[in-house]
Amino acid sequence: MTTTESSYSTPKWWKEAVVYQIYPASFQSQVGKKPGVTSGWGTIKGITSRLDYLKSLGVDVVWSSPILKSPQADMGYDIADYKDIDYRYGTLEDVDELISELKKRDMKLMMDLVVNHTSNEHPWFLESKASLDGPKRNWYIWKKPKSISPDGVPEPPNNWAQILGEANSAWTYDEKTGEYYLSLFTPEQPDLNWENPEVRAAVWDVMHFWMARGASGFRMDVINLISKEPTYPDADIVLDPGHRYQPGTKYFVNGPKLHDYMREMYREVLSKYDTITVGEMPGISDEKEILRTVGSNSGELRMIFIFDLVDIDKPNVRMALKPWDVKEMKSIISKWQRVMIENDGWNSVFIENHDNPRSVSRYTDDSDQWREKGAKLLALMQTTLGGTLFVYQGEEIGIRNAPKTWDISEFKDVETINYWKKCEQLYANDKEKLAHGRKIIDMKARDHARTPMQWSAGDNAGFCDSGTKPWMRVMDDYKTINVEAQLKADDSVWHFWQAALKHRKEHAGAFVYGGFEDLTPEHPEVFAYIRTSVEGERWLVVLNFSAKELEWTVPQGLEIESWDRGNYMKGTPDKPKQSGVPLKPWEGLWGKCR
């Protein structure tokens, strides 16, 4: 199927939108506010104060990670009230003001919908655990112990491991009722029972509430985990013998009733609005299964986050490492570009979010010598790929991972804490394995994406007032890597992002909707591709994903008209248009071709 035979290239606002993800705890505190309970935390008013900044960058939609009432066991992904705001962030009136100010700038708000699970402090769960026969007992997933051990300990219903701490069971025991409840992520996040139609109706009610309030759509947290295999079998043993519990993803990723639930969601809620929707769907790479959700006629979601690229170094669990190379990275990107074009689906384009390390540290070289070049290279790539583009806070200035010199106590994420606890328990007498565990944290901890936004060289990087302690340590390099400095330097990473986003919008026919051809599938370092619009406009993108100087040979029959931009200097690159094109380390180029 070509772009002209499908609706792939049919313009839609949500296809062309640039979405900017905000991690609200770390974006902007209310500078000047008297010290109080929100000091050191980002706020909704802080977000509103930065809307002109986002507009000038080229942002159309603001997606905030959860701001709803929460005990913060998992930084807001444990919700205690779906219709109220956490006091740390502000009030419902603050959200109304944010939506109003966004509309004045022709921008929109996308909410983070977390409905695979709630907080264990949500009234629904408190009522569910109150008794075996209460009206909301069946709103969550309760099971009797599998057995009682010889020493009288109730055993979990199966061997599934907790996602944010694989040393622990995914089941939590309730002493009062003598049963376990499923809590895939942490004990503080009990899974909702989507088999119960009352649960689904309650979710639809929450979605209508926020759409009526002025939201434009939803990012849906781990939405493909809502349907579980009803027999809850033991997971296959894939981790080393030291692990009692095993990843149970086979039995809850894209479960048997997922598409029934998603189509019902579309019928009952989404079909009634002009929305932007994106599903977080980890653990699924099957083309046909993904197209069941994002195909233009699927009646489910606009797009999902496909995790193949950000999981490129993941073996069986996230906090582990496996080798990867540039050819694998290219094959992942090229595959999903072609799949969506050829099958009338739709992509999301992203390489950063609140659950992953910084892209400049992960895919390029974040040293002082190469950080800016690498950050611009990644910007050039993302802004020239088809799909809806997602930018994560700080990505636009090239923020990198936290230094390896930080003490482990600086890391605040529950996943990191649980992982390090496991390392200390299993490898207390093995310095080599402990060092490897620390290496994994330095490379992959979610904390790297959650450090406070670096606005200026002032105290606390301008994130919060002087004399206020931020909830998490500010990066040591904020005096040189910050928004204020980059706005003043016209060759900065920020200005490169701004220009690249403008260029993308001006040539949306090619970069958002166009055809895609990978020119270098077998090259070990260079990623070169052509984007072609339905009208015939053609653009060449050439990216050197290495620290080496090399020469890329222009394919026979490809005629380069002009080189328009590169990441080494502002203005037109001085490069040959035929034969061999010399590339510097981490250099990227785009140009017109025919």
Residues labelled as active-site residues: 221, 280
Burial of 343 (C-beta count, 10 Å sphere; 0-12/13-18/19+):
middle
Residue 488 is given by DSSP the state H
Cα(47)–Cα(25) distance, integer angstroms: 10
C-alpha distance across the termini of the chain, in Å: 23
Cα(435)–Cα(423) distance, integer angstroms: 10
- What 3-state DSSP class applies to 147? strand
Helix residue spans in 251-312 (DSSP H):
258-268, 287-294
Cα(396)–Cα(398) distance, integer angstroms: 6
Are 254 and 51 within 8 A, CB to CB? no
Residue 5 is given by DSSP the state G
Provide the 10 A C-beta neighbour count for residue 212: 9
User: How is 416-445 classified by DSSP, letter by letter?
Assistant: HHHHHHHHHHHSTT-HHHHHHHHHHHHHH-
Distances (CA, A) of 369 to 464, 585, 586: 29, 11, 11
Cα(86)–Cα(72) distance, integer angstroms: 9
Cα(340)–Cα(306) distance, integer angstroms: 12
Cα(398)–Cα(415) distance, integer angstroms: 24
- Residue 111, strand partner residues: 218
Are 250 and 236 within 8 A, CB to CB? yes
Cα(46)–Cα(30) distance, integer angstroms: 5
Residue partners of 216: CB distance under 8 A and separation at least 6: 61, 108, 109, 110, 275, 276
The torsion angle over the Cα atoms of residues 74, 76, 82 and 85, rounded to 10 degrees, is: 150
- What 3-state DSSP class applies to 527? strand
Kindly state the helix (H) or strand (E) to which residue 65 belongs, with its residue range.
none
- What 3-state DSSP class applies to 191? strand
Q: How far is CA 209 from the centre of its chain?
A: 24
Up-side HSE of residue 590: CA atoms within 13 Å toward CB?
26
Closest-CA residue to 171 (of 155, 185, 156): 156
Q: Which two tokens stand for residue 345?
A: 């689906």
